[in-house]
Amino acid sequence: MGEAGGFLKYPRESAPVRPAAERVRDWEEIQGVLDDEKARTQGARCMGCGTPFCHSACPLGNLAPEWNDLVYRGKWREAADRLHDTNNFPEITGRLCPAPCEGSCVLGANDDPVSVKAIEMAVAERAFTQGWVTPEPPAAQTGRSVGIVGSGPAGLAAAQQLTRAGHQVVVLERAQRAGGILRYGIPSYKLSKAVLDRRLSQMEAEGTRFRTDVVVGEDVETASIRGSFDALVLAGGSTRGRDLTVPGRQLSGVCLAMDYLTGANLAREAALPVGPISAEGKRVVVVGGGDTGADCVGTANRQGAVSVHNLEIMPQAPLVRAAANPWPDFPIISRTSSAHEEGCTRMFSVATDEFVDNGRGQLRALRAHSVNRVCAEGGLVFEDVAGSAFEIPCDLVVLALGFEGPARKGMLEQLKLALDERGNVARDSSWETSALGVYACGDMARGQSLIVWAIAEGRTVAAAVDRYLMGESLLPAPLGL
């Protein structure tokens, strides 16, 4: 454990964040790293619980108490090794994970939880700066090959595990560069692409091959790809954005979140001043209050939006845990993201009615009304609040309403894969789809979720594929087989 009684002596401290007025003027990472002494002090707060709920809350089963204690004792190299035992990309989760481990921290039952995420990032960054993160090529090759479609966090985790197991792994990516949502969906102010590229360089040095600008099922027949490998892993993500079918949806100035974010990231990569959809000089409304919506808010502010509204149909969450949301469940409480701090008008319990035409086919305003969420037979419903209609003048609306599953046309149709009741790729208890030797992981099979879940899915499917190819596997399967 950390220092005996350390949780009584030291207050919680998170990773430093650049001031809002400064960071909104550029695209550099907003979050810094705890210095050594502060990281050790935060590690001292870990209580070494008899039942560490942080383990079970983390899909990867991260050994947080162990590396917290190692950091407290100044054993950074050992802490980095322990961190990598369960997580292929701790430098990414240390930046992007919402930290369900902290929500279940035993100290959090009546105090501020241990700063697990900040310590994780401090360890991961120290590991890179000290040169401890090096290629780990396999000792021997198995002679088996695996194709992986998609280079997001699930596909990358599966690829690294299977490469290290000795298989020849080729990752097929539809975009021009590898990384999937990490490169094209997450804004660079949250995840510098240099952080992603250094990990991809390690993977290439280990033997993983990347084929980019290849759309399986369009540029090349799926049967050809399937026949080129002993096993195929589908990790293409949940790419169909949920739309909003209200009058005026066709107007110029209304777009889906991923079209907006991808364009902004492509512009940054090409060093262009603006992307194909720009908020510069515009009044922006982002519909959807999740992480993707917040990313759109932060992007709009950096592009020079005149104003930004963020609408959410759900009511604002409570400031503290409700009685129906007890520890150690993940706390459903009101949160203010870094993007909201930079300038945004948030509106809750709002339903969108119409996008208003300016008479020339372009967006002029958004009309909406307030709703109340009530319990009814069959679940929760939203009731309109009489006389609550209002209008927000705007030039750009970004729809960040979540996702409806993977694209059906092309690869999935050609493989004739069965889908589950939610429209995701169905798989059995061995993670195999309805096609022999074809496996699925990540959002494509699970539905939209967190990056930490994607990494856990990738590690688990790697163990399943390794067992399929070799008859047994020593690879870890955090989600079970």
Q: What is the pLDDT along the chain (481 residues), one digit of tens a residue?
A: 678 899 999 999 999 999 999 999 999 999 999 999 999 999 999 998 889 999 999 999 999 999 999 999 999 999 999 999 999 999 999 999 999 999 999 999 999 999 999 999 999 999 999 999 999 999 999 999 999 999 999 999 999 999 999 999 999 999 999 999 999 999 999 999 999 999 999 999 999 999 999 999 999 999 999 999 999 999 999 999 999 999 999 999 999 999 999 999 999 988 887 789 999 999 999 999 999 999 999 999 999 999 999 999 999 999 999 999 999 999 999 999 999 999 999 999 999 999 999 999 999 999 999 999 998 877 889 999 999 999 999 999 999 999 999 999 999 999 999 999 999 999 999 999 999 999 999 999 999 999 999 999 999 999 999 999 999 999 999 999 9
pTM of the model: 0.96
Question: Are 346 and 372 found together in one domain?
Answer: yes
285: in domain: yes
336: in domain: yes
Q: How many domains does the chain have?
A: 3
CA distance 178 to 184: 9
CA distance 128 to 368: 49
Contact residues for 81 (Cβ-Cβ < 8 A; gap 6+): none
Question: Are 196 and 121 found together in one domain?
Answer: no
Tokens 């993160």 found at: 133
pLDDT at 271: 81
475: in domain: no
pLDDT at 1: 67
Alpha helices in 234-366 (DSSP H): 257-269, 291-303, 338-341
List residues bridging with 410 in a β-sheet. Answer: none
Question: Are 392 and 424 found together in one domain?
Answer: no
Question: Are 391 and 424 found together in one domain?
Answer: no
Residue where a domain terminates, one of 399, 419, 441: 399
Domain of residue 93 covers 6-129
CA distance 89 to 78: 16
Question: Are 278 and 390 found together in one domain?
Answer: yes
- Which CATH number do you get for residue 460? 3.50.50.60
CB 27 within 8 A of CB 187: yes
Pick from 225, 228, 257: nearest CA to 244: 257
Question: Are 272 and 390 found together in one domain?
Answer: yes
Residue where a domain terminates, one of 98, 129, 160: 129
139: in domain: no
Question: Are 84 and 117 found together in one domain?
Answer: yes
CB 450 within 8 A of CB 433: no
List residues bridging with 99 in a β-sheet. Answer: none
116: in domain: yes
Question: Are 153 and 69 found together in one domain?
Answer: no
Pick from 356, 258, 260: nearest CA to 300: 260
User: Residue 362 is inside which H or E element, if any?
Assistant: none
Residue where a domain terminates, one of 340, 367, 399: 399
- Which CATH number do you get for residue 29? 1.10.1060.10
pLDDT at 118: 98
pLDDT at 338: 95
pLDDT at 377: 78
**Residue 4 CB-density burial (10 A; 0-12 exposed, 13-18 middle, 19+ buried):** exposed
190: in domain: yes
476: in domain: no
Contact residues for 350 (Cβ-Cβ < 8 A; gap 6+): 311, 312, 313, 368, 369, 370, 371
In this structure, what token pair is assigned to residue 354?
């119409």
Pairing relation of β-strands 363-376 and 390-393? Answer: antiparallel
134: in domain: no
